[in-house]
Structure 1
């Protein structure tokens, strides 16, 4: 049951993130790009830069912000998956970056959405 609740929270967060990103001028290209070594929640283009976006949704701030959850291990997995995407799309020479969207969902309140552009650099594999 807890896993289903978590999946629903994540899906709701990704929907909210997409809405916010589009309002900020991002063009959503893909959602949930999955490979055996990782997943990227959203791939978008913003001002001609390919953006690999990790969305972290929380129901409380008891475990820190969503930004805190993007550990170096997670960054390595995102880097590897992003390189796979760029290779398959033949866009290795195209500008790209990693953004993180942190969302706090609390009962009877509007979602708090924060976007951190260039959240981290590509981690060498």
Structure 2
């Protein structure tokens, strides 16, 4: 599985997980002028922007460690740009990270970090 295929598999798994725990996935892979938002979803009345990080090994650290302070600043700017163009009905806004670890046996582990930014 290539890195791009792994990323797509992780994002599909993330979307399925979110729907299973009660989120409504509104959009995936939202392309904006300055970047991309992986998943936009509603968690009740909270508009949630989800960054998905998928890894095969922990050699470079846990997947969520890739969401650095600089990445969070970039995500906040992307959220602002998204809200200028499209704003589904919501009460609150939140940024989450979904960390996906692909095991060698083909299974995945998912960790959902809420309100990271």
Interval of TM-score (by shorter of Structure 1 and Structure 2): over 0.9
Structure 2: how far apart are the matches of 1:43 and 1:90? Answer: 11
Give the superposed CA RMSD: 1.8
Counterpart residue number, 2:116? 119
| 2:64 pairs with 1:71 | no
Structure 2 residue runs without a partner (length 5+): none
Change (3 A) 1:114 1:80: same
| 2:12 pairs with 1:15 | yes
- Give the conservation status (yes or no) of the 8 Å contact 2:47–2:90: no
TM-score, scaled to structure 1: 0.86
The alpha carbon displacement at 1:72 in A equals 1.4
Counterpart residue number, 2:33? 36
Counterpart residue number, 1:27? 24
Structure 2: how far apart are the matches of 1:27 and 1:90? Answer: 15
Residues 84-93 or 44-53, more deviating: 84-93
Q: Secondary structure at the match of 2:61?
A: coil
The total of aligned residue pairs comes to 117
The alpha carbon displacement at 1:93 in A equals 7.8
Structure 1 residue runs without a partner (length 5+): 121-125
TM-score, scaled to structure 2: 0.92
The alpha carbon displacement at 1:91 in A equals 6.0
Residue by residue, what CA displacement relative to the aligned partner does 1:29-70 show, whole Å, maximum 9, x if unpaired?
Answer: 000111121211000000110000000000001111111000
